[in-house]
């Protein structure tokens, strides 16, 4: 996640860096940035190990640092969304924001550990009017109440100030999403093959 922010500072595409590194013929596994902690499974084990280690007066600094960086990523995403809206002459306060995907990872319905939940909380705290769509998660319970998955229609997308790709489910027609949305903020690099002026990515 930190490399994503470094690429932003340097004006380098993190996706191109990963693609270039992936040409190494052996000993390389690509890891892709997103709106927060990710991976093939919910990240309980590292946290458990770090907590258990402290009982023995042993500090797993690398695990704790990785967790700290991952937990800060939703704040960074919200700041980028704020900047993107500002460039369009809009304020985050009062803006209508649609999150695509609230599940922890694509094509599943498990929201445990999902950074989308933190994103929604932060956006609401900033005064945004937040909606979401997830074909695998029909409702989510938040501290401010219950949200129900919105129908992903042209009317819905065109009424939003910003559509945020938070979980890149395979079923999403991203070309259509981009065509119907005023502004798309892609946290997953799912739209890399699309060339549209209304798409902003981490980091493009």
**Is residue 127 within 8 Å of 93, Cβ to Cβ?**
yes
Tokens of 146: 């219950």
Give me the catalytic one of 7, 41, 156, 162: 41
Kindly report the backbone phi and psi dihedral angles of residue 118, in degrees, each rounded to the nearest multiple of 5, phi listed first. -70, -40
What's 151's DSSP letter? P
Tokens of 148: 């129900």
Give the count of beta carbons closer than 10 Å to the beta carbon of residue 129: 14
Tokens of 16: 């191109």
Q: How far apart are the first and last CA of the chain?
A: 14
Angle (CA) 87 92 94, round 5°: 130
Angle (CA) 33 70 68, round 5°: 150
What's 103's DSSP letter? S
Annotated catalytic residue 156: no
C-alpha to C-alpha distance for 7 and 19, rounded to whole angstroms: 14
Catalytic residue positions, numbered: 41
């Amino acid at each position: 996640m930190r490399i994503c922010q470094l690429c932003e500072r340097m004006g380098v595409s993190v996706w191109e860096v990963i693609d270039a590194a992936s040409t190494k013929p052996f000993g390389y596994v690509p890891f892709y940035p997103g709106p927060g902690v990710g991976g093939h499974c919910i990240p309980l084990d590292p946290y458990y190990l770090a907590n258990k280690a402290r009982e023995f007066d042993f500090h797993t600094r690398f695990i704790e640092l990785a967790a700290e960086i991952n937990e800060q990523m939703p704040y960074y995403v919200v700041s980028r969304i704020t900047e993107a809206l500002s460039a369009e002459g809009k304020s985050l306060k009062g803006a209508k924001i649609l999150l695509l995907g609230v599940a922890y990872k694509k094509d599943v319905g498990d929201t445990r550990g999902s950074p989308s939940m933190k994103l929604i909380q932060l956006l609401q705290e900033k005064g945004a009017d937040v909606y979401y769509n997830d074909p695998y998660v029909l409702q989510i319970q938040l501290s401010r109440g219950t949200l129900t998955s919105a129908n992903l229609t042209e009317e819905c997308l065109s009424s939003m100030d910003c559509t945020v790709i938070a979980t890149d489910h395979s079923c999403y027609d991203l070309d259509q999403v981009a065509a119907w949305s005023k502004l798309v903020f892609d946290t997953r690099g799912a739209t890399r093959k699309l060339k549209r002026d209304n798409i902003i990515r981490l980091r493009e």
